[in-house]
Each structure stands twice: as structure tokens, then as C-alpha cells.
Amino acid sequence: MINLKTILLAEDDPKDVELTLEALSEYNLANHVKVVRDGVEALEYLRCEGQYKERNKGLPAVLLLDIKMPRINGIEVLEVIRADERLKMLPVVMLTSSREEPDLKKCYALGVNAYVVKPVDFKAFMDAVKNIGIFWALLNEFPKID
């Protein structure tokens, strides 16, 4: 088994989390998924702060980031990541219900790596999430971080 890096999923809606994990489980990626419930928690995880003080250092393979989240929303999280020297190279994929143009623009301006709208159709949704997981967790090469 290939040593897979963690996929960080920032999603507040438990149904979405369940359905996302369901989709990833098809390729056995679900075990590598770490779910955080909001932006604050996501950042704590990335920076190894708070409850994640003790976790193994190292960045996840990709951050799947929902926009609409309590406390700090996805765009704000993205902004912080791209401003953080240690975090800025982290691949971030927006996984959101919003197809609003301003959101899209803003995210790309902040250097998002991909923007995926969650399809209403479940099949389509499953395909999308699976593809993201395979691409970022398995196919994408990432530079070594010192």
C-alpha cells in the first residue's frame, strides 16, 4: 500500500461529510481523510495548534475546503493559508455549493488550485469527489518541504 498523505476536508455539514466520505471510500481514500468542522479548526490542524498540537507534523496532500462555514469561512481560510509562509504551498480545492462568480474570482485571485461546485446529482457528486481524491492524493506530485 502506498503511503498516502492525509486529505484534509473542511466541511461543517455532517451530511456532506458523510456523503463525501462515502464517495472517497470507494477508492479507500476515506481512511486518509481528516475532517475539520470549521475554518478555525482547519487552521489549528494545519498549524498544529490547539487540539492538534500533538499531531504528526506534515501538511496534508490537499485541503478540500467548503466556503460557507461557521466562524471563519473557506475564503478567509484560503487567504490565511496563502499568506502563511509555511502553508502557502498547500494545494487547496474549493468544494462548494456556490456557483457565484464573485466567489470564484476571489478564490482564484487568492491562488486556489481548483474550484469544484458540488453537483446536486449524487452520481455526479460522487464522481467529482472521487476524481479530486485520486488526483490530489495519488497523482499529484508535491515538492518536498524542508
Partner 1 sequence: MKLMKSNIREIIDFKKVDSLLEGFNKSTGFVTAILDLEGNVLSQSGWREICTDFHRINPETSKRCKISDTILAGKMEAGEKHHFYRCLNGLIDVAVPVVINGEHIANLFSGQFFFDEPDRDFFIRQARENGFNEEKYLEALGKVPVVSKEKALNVMDFLLNMTQLISETTFQKLEQLELNKNILESENRFTKAFRSSPAALTITSQKTEKLIEVNETWCRLFGFSVDEAIGKTALDLAITDSITQQTIQDQRKLRGSVKNIELILSNKSGEPLKFLFSSECIELGGEPCEINTMIDITDRMQVEEKFKSVFESANVGKSITKLSGEIYVNQTFCDMLGYSQDELQNKKWQEITPQEEISAVNEQLEPLLKGQKISTRFEKRYICKDGSHIWADVSVSLQPGLRGTQPYFITTILDITQRKQLEKTLQESNEKLSKVLETETVGVMFWDLTTGLMTAANDTFLKMMGYSQKDVEARELTWQKLTPLEYHEISLAEISKFQVTGRVGPYEKEYIRKDGTRKWLIFAGSALEGNTCVEFCVDISDRKKSESALRVERDFSKAVIDSLPGVFYCYDENLKFVRWNKNFETVTGYSPEEIGKMSPLDFFVGAEKELLRERIREVFEIGSSEVEAHFVAKDGTSIPYFFTGVTTKIDGYKHLVGVGFDISDRIQSEKALKESEQKFLTLFEKAPYAVTLSSLPDGLILNANDSFERIFGFSNEETIGKTSLDLGINPDIEDRQRLYIELQKNGFVRNLELELNIKSGEKRLFSINSDLIEIGSEKFFLNTLDDITERKQAEKKQAQTYELLTKLARLVPGVIYQYRLYPDGRSAFPYSSPGMYSIYEVTPEQVMDDATPVFGRLHPDDADRVSRLIFESANTLKEFYCEFRVILPEQGLRWRWSQAHPERMEDGGTLWHGIISDISDRKQVENDLRESERFLRISQQIAHLGSWRLDLETNQVIWTEELYHMYGFDPTLPPPPYTEHMKLFTPASWEKLSASLANTRETGIPYELELETVKEDGNNGWMWVRGEATRDSDGSTIGLWGAAQDITERKRIENTLRESEERFRRAVISAPIPIMIHAEGGHVITINTPWTQLTGYEHSDIPTISDWTRKAYGNQMDFVREEIDHLYTLDGPKEEGEYTITTSSGEQRIWDFSSAVIGQLLDGRRLVISMAMDVTERRIIETERRKFYLLAESSSEFIGMCDLELNPTYVNPAGQQIVGLEDLTAACRVKVQDYFFPEDQSFIEEEFFPRVLREGHGDVEIRLRHFITGEPIWMYYYLFRVHDPKGTIVGWATVSRDITEKKRMLDELEHMNIALEQKVRLRTAQLESSNKELEAFSYSVSHDLRAPLRHINGYVNLLNSQFPKSLPEKARHYLAEVTASVKQMGDLIDDLLQFSRTGRQELRLADMDMNVIIQEVIEVLKTDIADRKISWMIETLPRVRGDYSLLKQVWLNLLDNAVKYSRDKEEAEIEIGFTREADHWVFFVRDNGAGFDMQYAHKLFGVFQRLHSSEKFEGTGIGLANVQQIIHKHGGRVWASAQTDKGATFYFTIPYEIN
Q: Which residues bind partner 1 (CB under 8 A)?
A: 13, 15-16, 19, 22, 67-68, 96-101, 118-123, 125-126
CB atoms within 10 A of CB 7: 24
Cell numbers describing residue 41: 479548526
**Residue 35 vs 59, nearer CB to partner 1:** 35
C-alpha 102/C-alpha 142 separation (Å) is: 29
**Residue 87 vs 95, nearer CB to partner 1:** 95
Region for residue 39 given its phi and psi (left: phi exceeds 0; alpha: psi -120 to 50; beta: otherwise): alpha
C-alpha 24/C-alpha 127 separation (Å) is: 9
Minimum separation from the CB atom of position 111 to partner 1 (A): 23
**Residue 41 vs 103, nearer CB to partner 1:** 103
**Residue 16 vs 79, nearer CB to partner 1:** 16
The amino acid present at 112, given as its one-letter code, is: V
Q: Which residues contact 5 (CB under 8 A, 6 or more apart)?
A: 32, 58, 59, 60, 61, 137, 142
In contact, 76 and 107? CB cutoff 8 Å: no
Minimum separation from the CB atom of position 15 to partner 1 (A): 5
**Residue 21 vs 134, nearer CB to partner 1:** 21
